[in-house]
């Protein structure tokens, strides 16, 4: 007989993660809308096809739109604003997704040692993914 | 629900959780789907760009194909709309009274927003346009 997940009190770490999931989810919708609107304002309608638009929407990085007809990425498309923007986006998205995987796993895994190992693996994976993403963002 | 963990899929689906339960299941499946797709995309794109091997080229061809695009778009759009509904209801608990109406609103947005692009994707696939 498994027990259902205990309810965490407000102010605990688990509660912060619960709140993080809600807020980062809404923030990601806003981020996607803003980068799509910005791609239109930068003239993307004539320079990007639909798949490239979607790539820019979810990860605004010049390296992500190499197959487009943008004549010069140094004008508008490639600058510090988009580097900071996509770093925040990756931080929120990776945290949201991997914390979600942790929630699903902890619904089916109840052995404390295994839960600790899985949490550590997910934390390492998240840190690794974040470092790789920042490298990609700064290198392009 | 399945506290003993020994309930079959059909018995589980007959649990009378209605929209909320089905949305919860779909939210989970689509969320895991997005993590899987984005993970595959990052790894395959990395190997394709730096090594250019056949395996990652083949994986890229699979996730860029039209059937995969239909699945991916379903996952992203459903997860976004359902997640927005859940987040708004959690942040403003007074709205929980209107869960039914909000769910109808969610599907009212989902069906045209998914149906139109899906229609054009299928049309392009059948007629053979780009």
Print pLDDT tens along chain B (130 aa).
Answer: 345 667 777 777 777 667 778 899 899 999 999 999 998 988 888 888 888 888 888 988 888 888 888 999 999 999 999 999 999 999 998 998 998 899 999 999 999 999 998 998 888 778 876 5
Angstrom CA distances, A70 to A54, B31, B84, B92, B116, stand at 15, 33, 33, 43, 28
This complex has an ipTM of 0.86
Sign, CA dihedral B13-B27-A127-A20, equals negative
Chain B: residues touching A (Cβ < 8 Å): 3-5, 28, 31-32, 34-35, 38, 42, 46, 64, 80, 83-84, 86-88, 90-91
pTM: 0.86
Split at pLDDT 50, 70, 90, the class of A43 is: confident
Q: Does A23 reach chain B within 8 Å, measured CB to CB?
A: yes
Query: Are the beta carbons of A23 and B87 separated by less than 8 Å?
Result: yes
B41 vs B39: CA distance, rounded Å: 5
Is the model more confident about A107 or about A33? A33
DSSP state of A64: G
A95 vs B53: CA distance, rounded Å: 30
B-proximal residues of A, 67-126, CB under 8 Å? 93, 97-98, 100-101, 104
Q: How many CA atoms lie within 13 A of B100 on its CB side?
A: 3
Question: Residue B21 has what pLDDT?
Answer: 82
Q: Does A2 reach chain B within 8 Å, measured CB to CB?
A: yes
Lowest pLDDT segment from A8-12, A58-62, B77-81: A8-12
Residue A1 has pLDDT above 60, yes or no: no
* SS3 per-residue string spanning chain B: CCCCCCCCHHHHHCCCCHHHHHHHHHHHHHHHHHHHHHHHHHHHHHHHHHCCCHHHHHHHHHHCCHHHHHHHHHHHHHHHHHHHHHHHHHHCHHHHHHHHHHHHHHHHHHHHHHHHHHHHHHHHHHHCCC
Beta strands in A22-132 (DSSP E): none
Question: Residue A71 has what pLDDT?
Answer: 79
């Amino acid at each position: 007989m498994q027990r259902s997940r205990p309810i965490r009190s407000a102010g605990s770490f688990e509660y912060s993660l619960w709140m993080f999931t809600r807020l980062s989810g809404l923030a990601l919708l806003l981020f996607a809308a803003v980068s799509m609107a910005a791609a239109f304002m930068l003239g993307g309608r004539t320079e990007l096809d639909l798949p490239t638009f979607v790539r820019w929407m979810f990860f605004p990085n010049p390296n992500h739109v190499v197959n487009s007809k943008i004549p010069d990425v140094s004008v508008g498309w490639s600058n510090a604003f988009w580097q900071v923007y996509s770093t925040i986006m990756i931080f929120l998205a990776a945290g949201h997704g991997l914390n979600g995987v942790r929630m699903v796993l902890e619904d089916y895994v109840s052995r404390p040692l295994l839960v600790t190992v899985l949490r550590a693996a997910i934390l390492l994976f998240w840190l690794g993914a974040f470092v790789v993403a920042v490298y990609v963002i700064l290198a392009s | 629900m399945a506290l003993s963990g020994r309930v079959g899929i059909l018995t589980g689906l007959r649990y009378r959780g209605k929209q909320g339960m089905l949305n919860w299941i779909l939210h989970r499946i689509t969320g895991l789907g997005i993590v899987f797709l984005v993970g595959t995309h990052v790894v395959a794109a990395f190997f394709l760009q730096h090594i250019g091997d056949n395996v990652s080229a083949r994986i890229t061809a699979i996730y860029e194909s039209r059937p995969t695009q239909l699945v991916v778009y379903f996952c992203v759009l459903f997860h976004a709309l359902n997640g927005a509904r859940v987040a708004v209801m959690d942040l403003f608990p007074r709205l929980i009274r209107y869960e039914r109406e909000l769910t109808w609103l969610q599907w009212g947005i989902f069906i045209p927003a998914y149906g139109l692009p899906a229609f054009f994707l299928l049309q392009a696939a059948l007629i053979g346009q780009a």
